[in-house]
Amino acid sequence: MTWEWVMYGASTKVFVKEIIPNKLISTEWGNPATTVDYKFTAVTEETTYVVIKNYGLNLAGNDLIQAIIDNTGGFTTVLDGLKGYLEHNIKLILVGDKYPKEIRNQK
């Protein structure tokens, strides 16, 4: 499938490796490709704990540290937005606010 971020004019191909309903979504994406696993654990009937692991990064040293920081921040931002929407029906627009076009264009 293709993930698109219209506000950034960016997209990437994503290969879904495995889906175990209510437990796991495993994907592969990026260039070079890495694996991203989304693991879901029911805490109560109404709550779920999500752990996202990204592995297979062919980096070392400062490049690896920067990738970890970027990926952690990106996945956390998306999960925060989903939490606001699912629990409170609020569209937080966190991704758009994180990198507004006025700031992106200055880099």
In this prediction, residue 52 carries a pLDDT of 95
Locate 73 and state its tokens: 């921040």
Q: Where are the domains of the chain?
A: 1-58, 60-107
Q: What is the pLDDT of residue 14?
A: 95
d(CA 39, CA 50): 6
CA max distance for the chain: 46
Low-confidence ranges of the chain (pLDDT < 70): 104-107
Output the pTM of the full model: 0.81
* Residue pLDDT, tens place only, 15-34: 999 999 999 999 999 888 99
Q: What pLDDT shows up at residue 91?
A: 92
Sign of the CA dihedral with 72 first, then 78, 80, and 83 last: negative
Q: What is the pLDDT of residue 89?
A: 96
CA distance 56 to 33: 8
